């Protein structure tokens, strides 16, 4: 599985750091939605779905978490801990997030509005669909 990690330019000086996200530039799609996960409790694992059409860019803007990607053939686990790096999650990738640090803020940019009908939330169904 090809893992697409997008480096985001950090504008840093003695005051601190700034990262800018611009659609069709460092974000490879038109941004239609932004959401973020924070205050995730210890031991929580979430995600457990794939999207049929949605593409997302995931950035740990604070703290860290682990991110599992599964294309139905191969699983890859990554540590997200860099606010200057985005992980591209394309359609039909099962994903799970876990080992959130207490301070983790996981920001997600998406190319479509929230649509429950785009979700595949059953792993067996996901595997059946990707093997067709
Ligand atoms: P959920 O799908 O359980 O998150 P995850 O699978 O990433 O662990 O989402 C939690 C709730 O938030 C659920 O009621 C749906 C809602 N939600 C929205 O309303 N808009 C969104 O953009 C997202 C991602 C979730």
Instruction: Cite the active site residues.
Output: 49
At 17 the pLDDT is 98
The answer on pLDDT for 132 being more than 80 is no
**pLDDT tens digits, residue range 88-105?**
999 999 999 999 999 999
The answer on pLDDT for 77 being more than 80 is yes
At 94 the pLDDT is 98
At 69 the pLDDT is 98
Q: Residue 35 Cα, ligand 1 centroid: separation in angstroms?
A: 9
Rounded mean pLDDT of the chain? 98
**pLDDT tens digits, residue range 38-68?**
999 999 999 999 999 999 999 999 999 999 9
- Hey, what CATH class is 4-9+21-130 in? mainly beta
Best residue among 54, 114, 121 to mutate for probing ligand 1's pocket (most ligand atoms within 8 Å of CB) is: 114
Q: Residue 48 Cα, ligand 1 centroid: separation in angstroms?
A: 11
- Alpha carbon distance 71, 87 (integer Å): 15
- Alpha carbon distance 58, 65 (integer Å): 11
Of the candidates 96, 84, 106, 103, which has an alpha carbon nearest to the alpha carbon of residue 36?
Answer: 106
pTM, rounded to two decimals: 0.97
Instruction: List the domain boundaries for the chain.
Output: 4-9+21-130
Partner residues linked to 6 by β-bridges: 86
- Alpha carbon distance 82, 56 (integer Å): 17
């Amino acid at each position: 599985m090809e893992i697409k990690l997008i480096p985001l330019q950090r504008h840093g000086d003695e005051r601190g750091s700034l990262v800018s996200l611009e659609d069709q530039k460092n974000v490879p799609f038109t941004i239609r939605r932004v959401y973020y996960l924070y205050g995730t409790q210890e031991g929580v694992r979430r995600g457990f779905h794939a999207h049929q059409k949605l593409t997302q860019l995931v950035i740990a803007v604070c703290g860290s978490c682990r991110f599992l990607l599964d294309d139905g053939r191969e699983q890859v686990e990554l540590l997200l801990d860099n606010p200057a790096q985005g992980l591209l999650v394309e359609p039909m990738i099962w994903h799970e997030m876990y080992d959130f640090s207490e301070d983790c803020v996981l920001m997600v940019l998406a190319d479509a509005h929230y649509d429950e009908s785009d979700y595949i939330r059953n792993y067996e169904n996901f595997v059946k669909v990707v093997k067709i």
